[in-house]
Chain A
Amino acid sequence: MTQPMPTFDQARTDAEPLLSVRDLVVEYHTQRGLVRAADHVSFDLHRNEVFGLAGESGCGKSTVAHAITRILKPPAHIAGGQVLFDEVDVLKLNDDQLRDIRWRRISIVFQSAMNALSPVLTVGTQIADALQAHENGTAQMTRRQVLDRARELLDLVGIDPDRVNSYPHQLSGGMRQRVVIAIALALNPELIVMDEPTTALDVVVQKQIMDQIRELRNQFGFSILFISHDLSLMVEFSDRVGIMYAGELVEVAPSQAIFNDPQHPYTVRLMNSFPTLSGPRVELFGIPGSPPDLITPPPGCRFHPRCDVALAGRCQTERPGLQPIGARHMAACHLLDDKIVNKEDAS
């Protein structure tokens, strides 16, 4: 069953992507050997779009997010590919050029707000620091103006502006994460990378924060690269979703298609791995086995040892690539060969 695509999504893809990730390869040098945590990952993210990267722990979703923002630390290094942001390859920028883009055009919200904020500075000071470190020409902005802007930002994310003088420990977990979002918004970026922004929070607070982010996006029109292991949240919040498995992107589709009409055997089984609150109560099975050790990944399709429809031979030896299989729908699976459509039709 194929869902009709919303037309505003269609229009969106016609424009040049804001972010285009091409064949990104990230490797980790570990004592046990080389781990390829992201292996030829390619996807586009459009203006005003929420693109989600989902997958289980160790699938490489955070690695991709960190590579895009160039905050990977050794032993990780980018071994290949391009990250085109507004047609400029972020991977080729020097530190000064990177500084120009970072925070002014791309900002980041990390998983743990507890660790992202300094415990010894007031939230106002921390917002002001972000403003002054990155905004060109803030030299002219007085301390007064900077603090006014900090109050404005707190107000935007639903915190009483008088909290500028509070320290992080005086705020609840949800409020701290709101402060982190305020800092990410400080310079009106075009893209915000959100790496598990609500994972440490309870579901009611998560809902408050996700509603707030959605509202801010409608207001300011930034794009979001959204990383989460929570598939329900992912499907609900994202416009399009990419599913990663063992370092590879195995399926990319509009989020409703990922949920209602998944094609890759891994996605199909993943969507049958979590219970929902509404709809019929059906027996769920999960996926037998565990994701592979990336030091010695299986040959062929990396999912084939856990796949109950894998073909003897081909799936075990030949690695499938991401192919267009329908309207804005791509998957990497040999069994979907007969569904491959012309690239032009798909985009």
Chain B
Amino acid sequence: MIAAKPILEAQGLTKHFRTGGAVSQRVVKALQDASFQLYPGKVTALVGESGSGKSTTARLLARLYEPTAGQIIYAGRDTVEDKGRSKLLKYRSEVQMIFQDPFSSLNPVHSISYHLKRPLQIHRKAQGRQMTEKVHDLLHTVALTPPADYTPKYPHQLSGGQRQRVAIARALAVEPKVILADEPISMLDVSIRMGILNLMAKLRDEQNLAFLYVTHDLASARYFADETMVMYAGHIVESGGSEELTQDPQHPYTQLLLSAVPDPARGLRTQETEIAGEVPSLSEVGEGCPFAARCPHVMSRCREAMPPVTRLSETRWVRCYLFDEA
């Protein structure tokens, strides 16, 4: 089904943070051994609860954090060893990030025009009169029209949805191939959200962009993403086509997560599910499957080692001993 080559790929990507002082040093295992691919013209969702490591993953791919281990392969080449301003600048013109909060990701003392001109200058994408033209094109692309109405404005003069459109336009300014969107709609009002998701879907289709869509909202992943990966306590535990995964979840955690989402379309009341326990602290995650302590199907080997990837189909895999033939 997927014939194209991945544009961005994570291989065994791992990030540990050291916290605490000299006496009580702890290691927070924010991301462990994550491998996945992003494809041009595809949206891949990364879904999980807070603290599951999904934002860490996006920030690693944006090279805002240094990975503890693993590879970040862009267009077939590992970029983890690329350091220094010019190499990172090149990478960042290809891989752009959109943040959750459009109130803090734009600078209140600068105009919209300034926000869009800066990346054009830094990445030398346009000069002089061309610059204004390019800014107007960008505003057109994100449907802030007529552009001249928006360029002189300041962030506080725009609504949340308009601000997020500016943030998207800014990401597009450098003509990226990959956009890492970290909860891009969760701060916005319900009536505004679909406009932003539809805009990003249009960019995926028209500009063949690859998206990583980080979200806690499974229903929006079903709506917007082609593929969905589910994270729990630093591990990606299941991955597959969004429709398949949300309609027929395989991993016990995915099943738990889906049963917890309020869904009026499902009927008057959701079935009462027995949900015990809470997400473990990331500094206390042991060797085994992190979900073992809460899993209704737990077996002794679940506590010993993280299950390997079991492929269920060409596009679907799960990390759970229930599916491990060996």
Instruction: Please name all residues of chain B whose beta carbon is closer than 8 Å to the beta carbon of A174 when the two chains form the complex.
Output: 278
How far is B223's CA from A210's CA once the two chains are assembled, in angstroms? Answer: 25
Instruction: Please name all residues of chain A whose beta carbon is closer than 8 Å to the beta carbon of B259 when the two chains form the complex.
Output: 207
Instruction: Please name all residues of chain B whose beta carbon is closer than 8 Å to the beta carbon of A235 when the two chains form the complex.
Output: 262, 264
Is there contact, CB below 8 Å, between B278 and A205?
yes
Q: Does A316 contact B (CB under 8 A)?
A: no
Nearest-neighbour CB distance to chain A for B279, whole angstroms, equals 8
**Binary A-proximity of B256-295 (CB < 8 A = 1, otherwise 0):** 1111111111101110110100110000000000000000
Is there contact, CB below 8 Å, between A278 and B265?
yes
Q: How many A-B residue pairs lie within 8 Å, measured between CB atoms?
A: 122
Is there contact, CB below 8 Å, between A275 and B219?
yes
Is there contact, CB below 8 Å, between B273 and A281?
no
Chain A positions 50-73 with a Cβ under 8 Å from a chain B Cβ: 56-57
Is there contact, CB below 8 Å, between A232 and B261?
yes
Q: Does A118 contact B (CB under 8 A)?
A: no
How far is B269's CA from A267's CA once the two chains are assembled, in angstroms? Answer: 21
Residue of B nearest to A255 (CB): B264
Q: Among B11-19, B35-43, B115-123, B185-193, which stretch is in contact with chain A? A: B185-193
Interface residue tally for chain B (C-beta within 8 Å): 42
Known: A174-B278, A233-B262. A211 touches B219 (CB 8 A): no
How far is B262's CA from A279's CA once the two chains are assembled, in angstroms? Answer: 13
Interface residue tally for chain A (C-beta within 8 Å): 42
Q: Does A10 contact B (CB under 8 A)?
A: no
Is there contact, CB below 8 Å, between B275 and A276?
no
Is there contact, CB below 8 Å, between A287 and B275?
no
Known: A237-B262, A256-B268. A276 touches B219 (CB 8 A): yes
Is there contact, CB below 8 Å, between B272 and A284?
no
Q: Does B159 contact A (CB under 8 A)?
A: yes
Instruction: Please name all residues of chain B whose beta carbon is closer than 8 Å to the beta carbon of A274 when the two chains form the complex.
Output: 190, 193-194, 219
Is there contact, CB below 8 Å, between B222 and A203?
no
Name the residue in B190, B198, B257, B275 with the highest tally of chain A Cβ atoms < 10 Å from its Cβ. B190
For the complex of A and B, 10 pairs with smallest distance between CB atoms: A286-B194, A275-B223, A207-B260, A287-B191, A276-B265, A279-B265, A235-B264, A202-B49, A56-B189, A232-B262
